[in-house]
Structure 1
Amino acid sequence: YGLPRTAEALERVLDGVPLNRVQVRIDAHSWSRAVADWLLAFLSKRRSDPTKLNLSFGIDPAAIFAGTGRLRTSIEALQESMPQSLAHFFSMGVPGVLLEADGRVFHNAGATEAQELGTMMASVVSYLRMFEKARQPLVYAAPYIGFALSVDQDQFLSMAKVRALRKLWARIQEACSIPASTASIHAETSYRMMTMADPETNILRTAIAAFAAATGGADSISILPHTIAHGLPAGFARRIARNAQLIMAEESHLGQVADPASGSGAVEALTDDLCTAAWEEFQRIEAEGGVLASLQQGYIQNRVQTAAAKRNGAYRAGERGIVGTTLYRAGTERPVET
């Protein structure tokens, strides 16, 4: 949202925030490690005990590689250095997510739900493999691993995707003989569903997506402002996005019901189908040498491009529609404040 990547900017944003009452999520990707160091330095300056906070640093080399096309080091060097570089975080006992399997970059590039989930599973297994190679107990690493995914206006499919992620993580833990721990899931409303034309329709899309994330079981949710396709959102768009979350939490009480879709034949079937398809994608990536090797060779990108082309073809053929863009388009567009 336009903040400079500096320690001073981070301190200015967090000044006056009751850190013990909220989750602090760092979403800076290639700068995640640096921002994590800045945050810990800030906490030390404020004499805050990091063990009493809920933090998420979102460090994900696979998402960085997929989004930028490069890594700061070779894959081999990364695999060797990451366990040691994060050792001091583990030793401090900082609760929350250090490593994150982030599917959003794949979703926004056009991946199917199964491709997004399968790539996330391959990412999380690559983290576990790094720690195993460094002879560090996986049981200590697993609680520091989290997930981030995209949810869109397809309510039931998004609900099923969040539910499927929990099942897939449980299966990974079982296969690795790790004691079961609950997946920490962050959901963000889809960037790729946001339209430039008639942007007010995006308010409805994000509301449906956030509802799906909450009822699917996401632990935290970010709603993108409805004008984000036009550039840096202005204050009004940010306020609408923030208040939508507050209404769902404080007035609709969506977070007080555990897995409301449980027992629904349609949602259960969707969840199982996604688990099966995602596991097949995960196995495919593993056969290609793991997520980083698959990205390096372009295998994942090729499959995502194929899926995106198929979806775009359906829009061009009129088989799928976008209200306000391909369907019922407004005669005139109002200026968008950014």
Structure 2
Amino acid sequence: MSNQREKLFTDFPPVSTDEWIEVVTNDLKGADFQKKLVWRTKEGFNVKPFYRADDIDGFKALENLPGQFPYVRGTKKDNNWYVRQEIKVVDFADANKKALVLLEKGVNSFGFKLPKHQLSSENLAILLNGIAPDKVELNFSTCISKTIDLAKLVVDYIKGQNLDVMKCYGSVEFDPFRKILKKGIDEPEWVEKAVEIVKITSPLPRFRSIIVTGNMLNDAGAYSYQELGFSLSYGNQVLSKLIENGIEPSTAAKKIKFKFGVGSNYFMEIAKFRAARWLWAEVVNAYKPPCPHDCDNKADDGTCRCAAKMNVHAITSAFNQSLYDPYVNMLRSQTEAMSATLGSVDSLTVRPFDEAFEAPTEFAERIAVNQQLLLKEEAHFDKVTDPSSGSYYIETLTRSLAEQAWKLFIDTEEAGFYNSLKSGLVQDAINKTAEERFNALANRREILLGTNQYPNFNEIMSDKIDESATGSGCGCGNTQGSTPLKSLNKNRLADQFNELRLDTEKSGKRPKVFMLTIGNLAMRLARSQFSSNFFASAGYEIIDNLGFKTVEEGVKAAKEKGADVIVLCSSDDEYPQYAPETYEMLKDSNELLVVAGAPACMDELKAQGVEHFINVKSNVLETLKMFNDRLL
């Protein structure tokens, strides 16, 4: 069979890239190839419509296997990851019961968030009763003011179990810059605290204690290259300070854990995790950490290669979770989970689909766990390591994203990450990106299904919102006597559309939008569908129609239905006739006339009194705000 294949391929001469482009250019019939088919990403590089082997010629990653430095293909030979569930502890016994049930359902990692005023060895023992630290990954967090105390309790507890500490994996999460990023509160003693917690957790070599929360940047709306570039600078700032303060380089690197968010840009997110491991390996390698053991994973000069392994915990994005049509959040988080696991992360948390508006229900949490189990037990994602290796497209994305992130890393390093936070450089950059994305959503250049495109027309959500479930955590720390620092954006992408639609619900009046469809069949149907989605994004009642023979018949039907807005849906060629006729019938009425489209005669129609037009260039959010002001 192989011989037959070889003979078959000899019948077809190789085709060069130039020949492919020539064919594509001919098919474009004079259109510019770069403008028509080349996509400029938000990360700042171009993506071509097709890639070939010569695009990745010379990529060093192609020569590596999973588990080999610089770890583009993963830090281990397999692709098994921890299925993690977050548990906010209120009652320690109840949290323990919940954890034991989850263990039976396939969870093998926990993120326990503990109340700061109830930290004690007794409560910790209650929480972990029946949970084996050498079989389950355990991660603990609390208010930053009590993280040192928590670390001591965890170390004492695990040492007291007489276990092999080399089999105990997890973390006690100390995030040096969380207060700045979240609340704009400085943490001037972060270096001393970081050094102390590393020393406290040293008896647990497999427990990480410094957490680089790149996911906070992701949840604030950052582009992939920003999340990656700033996270690298964040990690390097901490790493350098630990080494300066007497921590061995290999120990310091092994105490750092990265948290990354996962957005919905499927292939870009896969590339992000591959690029992250690569760049962090180069950062750590620059310190030449000596290998403290006689192992087979060190460079010829004795540099520890294990220290260069990035430990990555991925969390599906909160930024793109929506209030309306919340089941779509499951679809988003599923593709995000696929990106993370194909990108070979070490552990993963899938956010419950209802997290944006209530304390997650038992059903939502169960689905979130099952989303990961599906990838393992049905899709077998854990059976193949780095399946994207060799993909011309993903390999190119990995390299391009790495280059952009590295540029940002170098720029940030001039001042240092901490100083960049204090000056607001990091926050300004990400908040600017968030604003760009809000505007893109408003103009439908970015689509959020169920929010600004294909909304669930008749959905009601105002009675499902639990305000108490959206708190911002503890209120420790204050800015008295000091100037508050800038913080990150806290709004989700869909928030402005959510507010718009909630205003409609709370007003007690639901405006009726009537589609006056007439004329050209294809155009009236297309514009009717566009207009229905447009106005349904504000929660208006949509009354669609198959078509009318005359404008008079359509206006009569609209009035009978009690319409507040009448949308004329026809073709550009027919608007010069139908639009003035409709306007004349409505000019003395309360109904608002809207023309769907941007016909060449728009200025003439405006001169005749037609005021409202909606089309693909309309700012959906601002237009709907205007209608809310007029109608509610």
TM-score by length of 1: 0.91
| Contact map agreement 1:3 1:9 (CA 8 A) in 2 | no
Residue 106 of structure 1, CA deviation? 1.1
| C-alpha distance 188-32 of structure 1, shift in aligned 2 (>3 A) | farther
* Aligned counterpart in structure 1 of residue 198 of structure 2, from 86, 95, 107: 86
- When the two chains are superposed, the root-mean-square deviation of aligned CA atoms in Å is 2.1
Structure-2 residue corresponding to 1:70: 185
* Aligned-partner SS, 1:229: coil
Give the Cα separation in 1 of the matches to 2:133 and 2:192: 33
Matched, 1:158 2:269: yes
Alignment of 1:102-117 (within 5 A): 102-117=213-228
Give the Cα separation in 2 of the matches to 1:197 and 1:311: 19
* Aligned-partner SS, 1:295: helix
Residue 263 of structure 1, CA deviation? 0.8
Give the Cα separation in 2 of the matches to 1:84 and 1:337: 41
| Contact map agreement 1:29 1:60 (CA 8 A) in 2 | no
Give the Cα separation in 1 of the matches to 2:148 and 2:228: 24
Give the Cα separation in 1 of the matches to 2:123 and 2:322: 30
Alignment of 1:109-258 (within 5 A): 109-178=220-289, 179-181=304-306, 182-258=309-385
**CA deviation string 1:186-228 (max 9, x = no partner):** 1000011111110001111111100110001101000000000
| Contact map agreement 1:29 1:58 (CA 8 A) in 2 | no
Matched, 1:304 2:430: yes
Structure-2 residue corresponding to 1:317: 443
Q: Which one-letter code corresponds to 1:38 in the other structure?
A: L
Give the Cα separation in 2 of the matches to 1:108 and 1:259: 26
Structure 1: where are the runs of 5+ without partners?
A: none
* Aligned counterpart in structure 2 of residue 99 of structure 1, from 185, 201, 210: 210
| C-alpha distance 268-29 of structure 1, shift in aligned 2 (>3 A) | farther
Q: Which one-letter code corresponds to 2:317 in the other structure?
A: S
| C-alpha distance 162-9 of structure 1, shift in aligned 2 (>3 A) | farther
Give the Cα separation in 2 of the matches to 1:9 and 1:266: 51
**CA deviation string 1:79-104 (max 9, x = no partner):** 245324421322x1431312122201
Q: Which one-letter code corresponds to 2:185 in the other structure?
A: R
Q: Which has the higher contact order (CA 8 A, sep 6+)?
A: 1
Residue 28 of structure 1, CA deviation? 4.1
* Aligned-partner SS, 1:21: coil
TM-score by length of 2: 0.50
Structure-1 residue corresponding to 2:89: 3
Give the Cα separation in 1 of the matches to 2:388 and 2:378: 20
Q: Which one-letter code corresponds to 1:328 in the other structure?
A: Y
Give the Cα separation in 2 of the matches to 1:27 and 1:242: 21
Residue 234 of structure 1, CA deviation? 1.1
Q: Which one-letter code corresponds to 1:17 in the other structure?
A: I
Give the Cα separation in 2 of the matches to 1:308 and 1:100: 23
**CA deviation string 1:66-120 (max 9, x = no partner):** 123224x42xx33245324421322x14313121222011111121111111111
Structure-2 residue corresponding to 1:261: 388
| Contact map agreement 1:80 1:130 (CA 8 A) in 2 | no
Q: Which one-letter code corresponds to 1:62 in the other structure?
A: F
Give the Cα separation in 2 of the matches to 1:250 and 1:25: 24
* Aligned-partner SS, 1:174: helix
Give the Cα separation in 2 of the matches to 1:51 and 1:69: 38
Q: Which one-letter code corresponds to 1:293 in the other structure?
A: N
Matched, 1:52 2:174: no
* Aligned counterpart in structure 2 of residue 21 of structure 1, from 128, 135, 156: 135
| Contact map agreement 2:243 2:252 (CA 8 A) in 1 | no
Please say which structure displays the higher CA radius of gyration: 2
Q: Which one-letter code corresponds to 1:281 in the other structure?
A: L
Residue 134 of structure 1, CA deviation? 1.4
Residue 52 of structure 1, CA deviation? 2.8
Residue range with higher mean Cα deviation, 201-210 or 57-66: 57-66
Q: Which one-letter code corresponds to 2:190 in the other structure?
A: L
